[in-house]
Chains A and B, each alone.
Chain A
């Protein structure tokens, strides 16, 4: 009862403000139509470098006459905070949202539909990056930036083992590992049993789907031989490593292991190199990056595209102003500037030249076109809650179980999670 009352008051309040908007200054979209308003933008910690924020703010204020207020959010507990904020009367107008979280929030009705924005500024957004913003065939967010894994390698170890030139295919990479192994002075690659996002990339590479539709509900598709194929590749990588089979890349931090100088390479984010350098400053000059090579030289390995989208709250009263903000923040100028300042992949391929001079970014960019994400369904979030059944599957295979048996072992848990009520 009470809730209905609050909702009614909210709706009434909205009508009043819309009416006020209408009577005050015509349509409210003219040059000075937004004067006096303040747009609230939630950005995640680390996503908005100072110069970029200052420049975007200036451009926005100049164009609309309204103010913009950035509120930096911490990643820890963000989903809970966002859910609460969206349920309140005064949600943030624009907010950054993880690409794989977007479908779940689109399904809640908390995100405003952005079809017209896509038409006006999104014609050449990179297809693989935009997929996560589309739910049920409609646009609910705008791709902002992305990052994906590369091979971070120790140039000295590679050189000492006689590896010249950067491996262009998966076979060449394994040859290089063989040489390092033969040399016997270093572990060719650090690959713990549960580097799950790397494995997700491999499944994208083999064209496997982790879930399939059974009637009207989603169920596990782990038993698919294509998943097994991806796992075979993973197993081959892991065979060059003595890393624990039941741990992921964060325990211990793989970059810290790499920092000791006794590891040829690891698969990770470009910024992980900074962790290695922090642990052992002497390693800096030896660190290099290259794109994870695929089956053939012309197509890199599939990668998981971690990224951020910008969305507008459905409950925001400043829809038009919020769209103006997106148009400015996502313009080629500022999108390029962000890519340059953060070293992240921009939302258009034409802007990738901004990564020049940033070796990690340059290595990451070629894989974007063939990258992908986790299944973009609202039910997915529950699957990744620890203990992630796919990680359990990976460890089982690496410990000697067959693909089919391991898939069968975790399917019950997997399906249970996919069936959780929304």
Chain B
């Protein structure tokens, strides 16, 4: 949300800059802010406190657990057994962990690419539609976005149920009789396919609505100017629309990577990481090792490593953001 409002501020300024006129409103805003230096910090305080309390403290606890040998026995007898880096050494040297990591990255990549492409297309469609159709589509998108994940998973499980699922029934009716009793959750690939469909479907609305919002900030005159210069539809898309959309695309891609990477709910609820633990992604793996197999210390270590990997994945975007802020200062 904050990202959006920032952009809307800076965008026209930059465009004016390209035009050759106008000053830099940020600089004036910054000097104003300096005069009332304390106010922003006070405003930040509640959010910071909540973050520290609800995220920071559990994270510290989790960190402490990851250096302990904490299993059923230690939990029941309330023993604290520090074991240094043993958990990390064991996790990092196990082939399972790396297999799950690679799987998580591929899974996230495939989903985010699909989400971004389809979401952008739907967003652009929204911008082009007439009022009534746009409202209809928006309502549909918001409903899909608002559906609680567990409810959505349950619906998908029904859709793809082996014996009474609508999908198999339709395929059967269409002449694919071998699909009548098809078990969609029997193999790794098809389980992932169902999960991907679900996650992409759930994530498109956010991207689409965001992108649609971005297009509303583009002044109409720019398109007129572009067409006067003889730009076709593609050219005006790449040189007018895209520059406006780019920051939004960065931001939404960044958020989608985070959301898909930690999509525990959908993956676990649909088949508990099965068949044969083949659809476990990192958060599911951490849960199954930690809670399922009751190696709480080990689970904590995997969870922390998951955060590190996620940070590495999103480092590119973070760098862009940090660099931008440096430039703006």
* Interface membership of B279, Cβ < 8 A: no
B80 touches A3 (CB 8 A): yes
- Tell me the B57-84 residues at the A interface (CB within 8 Å): 69, 71-73, 75-78, 80
Q: Residues 76-108 of chain B: 1 if any A CB is under 8 Å from the residue's CB, otherwise 0?
A: 111010000000000000000000000000000
Q: How far is the CB of B72 from chain A (nearest CB, A)?
A: 5
- The contact of B72 among A83, A251, A385, by CB within 8 Å, is A83
| Chain A interface helix/strand/loop/mixed | helix
Q: Which residues of A contact B292 (CB under 8 A)?
A: 80, 385
Given A3-B78, A7-B78, A87-B76, also A421-B71 (CB < 8 A): yes
Residue numbers in A under 8 Å from B76 (CB-CB): 83, 86-87, 108-110
Asked if A385 meets B293 with Cβ closer than 8 Å, knowing A421-B71, A422-B71, the reply is yes
How many residues of chain B have a CB within 8 Å of chain A? 18
Q: Are A386 and B73 in contact (CB under 8 A)?
A: no
Q: Are B295 and A420 in contact (CB under 8 A)?
A: yes
Contact A387 B276 (CB under 8 A): yes
Q: Does B294 contact A (CB under 8 A)?
A: yes
Q: With A3-B80, A79-B294, A386-B274 in contact, is A87–B75 under 8 Å at CB?
A: yes
Confirm or deny: A105 has a beta carbon within 8 angstroms of a beta carbon on chain B.
yes
Residues of B within 8 A of A422 (CB): 71-73
Chain A residues with Cβ under 8 A from B183's Cβ? 251
Contact across chains for A387 and B277 when beta carbons are under 8 A apart: yes
Within the complex, the shortest CB–CB distance from B306 to chain A, in Å, comes to 20
The contact string, 1 if C-beta is below 8 Å from chain B, for chain A 82-94, is 0110110000000
Q: Does B250 reach chain A (CB closer than 8 Å)?
A: no
Verify if A382 is at the interface (C-beta below 8 Å from B): yes
B295 touching A108, Cβ below 8 Å = no
Q: Provide the A379-390 mask, 1 if CB < 8 A to any CB of B, else 0.
A: 000100111000
Cβ contact within 8 Å between A108 and B73: yes
CA distance A151 to B44 in the complex (A): 70
Which chain A residues border B294 with CB–CB below 8 Å?
A: 79-80, 83
* A404 CB-CB contact with B under 8 Å: no
Q: Is B206 an interface residue (CB 8 A)?
A: no
| Contact yes or no, B72 A108, CB < 8 A | yes
* Neighbour of B276 across the interface among A86, A109, A386, CB < 8 A: A386
Within the complex, the shortest CB–CB distance from B295 to chain A, in Å, comes to: 7
Residues of A within 8 A of B223 (CB): none
Most A-side CB within 10 Å, residue of B73, B80, B183, B292: B73
The answer to whether A104 has its CB under 8 Å from any CB of chain B is: yes
| A88→B231 CA distance, assembly (Å) | 72
B156 at the interface (CB under 8 A from A): no
Flag if B77 contacts A108 (CB, 8 Å): yes
B79 → chain A closest CB, angstroms: 9
The answer to whether A421 touches B276, judged by C-beta atoms less than 8 angstroms apart, is no
Complex: A83 Cα to B295 Cα, angstroms: 12
Q: Indicate with 1 or 0, residue by residue over A296-313, a CB within 8 angstroms of chain B CB atoms.
A: 000000000000000000
Q: Are B274 and A421 in contact (CB under 8 A)?
A: no
Cβ contact of A105, chosen from B69, B72, B274, B293, cutoff 8 A? B72
- B73 interface neighbour in A3, A7, A107, A382, Cβ under 8 Å: A107
Cα separation A109 to B72 with both chains bound (whole Å)? 10
Quick one: which of B170-196 are within 8 Å of A by CB?
A: 183
Q: Of all chain A residues, which has the CB nearest B96?
A: A416
> Is B291 located at the chain interface by the 8 A CB criterion?
yes
Residues B293 and A386 in contact, CB atoms below 8 Å apart: no
Partner of B75, one of A83, A386, A420: A83
Which B residues are CB-close (under 8 A) to A86?
Answer: 76
CA A421 – CA B291 in complex, angstroms?
Answer: 15
Bound complex: CA of A349 vs CA of B243, how far in Å?
A: 82
Q: Which residue of A lies closest to B77 (CB)?
A: A109
In the bound assembly, the distance between CA atoms of A87 and B71 in angstroms comes to: 11
Given contacts A80-B294, A109-B76, contact A386 B71 (CB under 8 A): no
Q: Which residues of B contact A105 (CB under 8 A)?
A: 72
A390 to B: closest C-beta gap in Å: 14
Residues of the A chain whose Cβ atoms lie less than 8 Å from the Cβ of B73:
107-109, 422
Min Cβ gap B165→A in Å is 15
Assembly CA distance A273 to B191 (angstroms): 31
| Contacting pair B78 A6 (CB below 8 A) | yes
The answer to whether A382 and B293 have CB atoms under 8 Å apart is yes
B275-302 interface code vs A (CB 8 A; 1 in, 0 out): 0110000000000000111110000000
Closest residue of B by beta carbon distance from A111 = B76
Tell me the complex Cα distance, A387–B275, Å: 9
What CA separation (Å) do A251 and B162 show in the bound complex? 11
- Note all chain A residues with C-beta closer than 8 A to B69: 421
In the complex, which residues of chain B have a beta carbon less than 8 angstroms from the beta carbon of A386?
274, 276-277
Chain A residues, Cβ within 8 Å of B276: 386-387
Interface centre among B76, B80, B294 (most CB of A within 10 A): B76
Asked whether, in the complex, the Cβ of B277 is within 8 Å of the Cβ of A104, the reply is no
Taking CB as reference atom, which chain B residue is nearest A10?
B78
Contact among B78, B277, B291 for A80, CB-based, below 8 A = B291
Among residues of B, the one whose C-beta sits closest to the C-beta of A79 is B294
Assembly CA distance A135 to B87 (angstroms): 28
Counting from the closest, the 3 A-B pairs by CB-CB distance are A108-B73, A387-B276, A110-B76
With A109-B76, A386-B274, A420-B293 already in contact, 10 other A-B pairs whose C-beta atoms are closer than 8 Å: A3-B78, A87-B75, A107-B73, A108-B72, A108-B77, A110-B77, A251-B183, A385-B292, A387-B276, A422-B73
5 contacts between A and B (CB under 8 A): A110-B77, A386-B276, A420-B293, A422-B71, A422-B72
Residues of chain B having any CB pair with chain A under 8 Å: 69, 71-73, 75-78, 80, 183, 274, 276-277, 291-295
